[in-house]
Chains A and B, each alone.
Chain A
Amino acid sequence: MLAWQIFRRIAQMGLGVVGTMLMATVVAAGTDELVLRDEGQETRLSIAALRDQADERFTLYDPFEAADVAMRGLVFRDFLVEHFGEVPEALAFEAWDEYRVTLEGWDDPDWILVTHQNGEPLTLRDRGPLRLVERDYGDRDPENLRGFNDWIWMIRSIEAVP
């Protein structure tokens, strides 16, 4: 009985938080596209097409999985040059979990836009459908997950910031 009361209280708290978020009407159906924005123009790329183009394969120790993971994806710098004409100074990312961040320093072939993990396409549950990882993260301690905050998950849109 006590457990049910706690459960109801948690649910009520959740309702309060979600009230405004429901207006955003985020639906899982949209996760099959990546939105690119550059100088006011919007381009939508099919995630399936990106998965087909992914030709970069490597295995690394994923700090979040705490295991060696076989990954497949695209060299992010080449991807940017292909779709933005150059590597923008900074990029604003929006993720499916409402995370938004603007970061610089993408002219680096180490960054991979991952589409597959252990042979399977990334889904929302795998922190996909697209995820940015560093192929070589040097001597950073994989036990300290805060050191990998710039590995952006569940990428929904990318905007070039001049």
Chain B
Amino acid sequence: MRYWWKALAVLLLFYTLIGGFLIEVPRQVILYESIRNLYFHVPMWFSMIFLFLLSTIYSIKNLSSGSLEDDRKAIELVNVGIIFGVLGTITGSIWAKFTWGAWWTNDVKLNGSAITMLIYLAYLVLRGSLDDEQKRARISAVYNIFAFVLLIVFIGILPRMTDSLHPGNGGNPGFNNYDLDNNMKLVFYPAVVAWILLALWMANLRLRISRLKENLSS
């Protein structure tokens, strides 16, 4: 069975949907039922980070092997990762409006994720500006590794060093501390796996299209 992981993605997505809406959640002021966004908003970011991490690994591989196949994997993973980042930003903005009272605040976590998105958009621009395949693969691989380091700084480190409204940052407890009870874990962890698998599936399709294009031109 080569397609087992795609089937697993479908299964877990439906489980996330049904369990995510129907299983009891903790009662919290301000959040109310919107606590269920945890199953949808957070996995968007986890998927994005996972895809960017994989992309970085392929960029490192490309630098040592010089293989264009590794470069193809790196770019397609970033392409899909950006989609998930955009979805994470929009869903976060909606959630913020109804819990914090504003679509956007100048919170370190929010601005950090916005900067990260711009860094990865610049990766696409950089690629577009280079014509030579080998040169493009090499230069963009170096940039891509650099970009992931910045992602860790802007999303992972800086928000934890100052005050932040966002759960899990700046002395603000994350959902894992006390809000994430056993019922929520039951849905949250499968949800993360489900969305990551879906993202990988999308990247897989893009990668195959890119290979087909390559075959056609050669």
A binds B: no
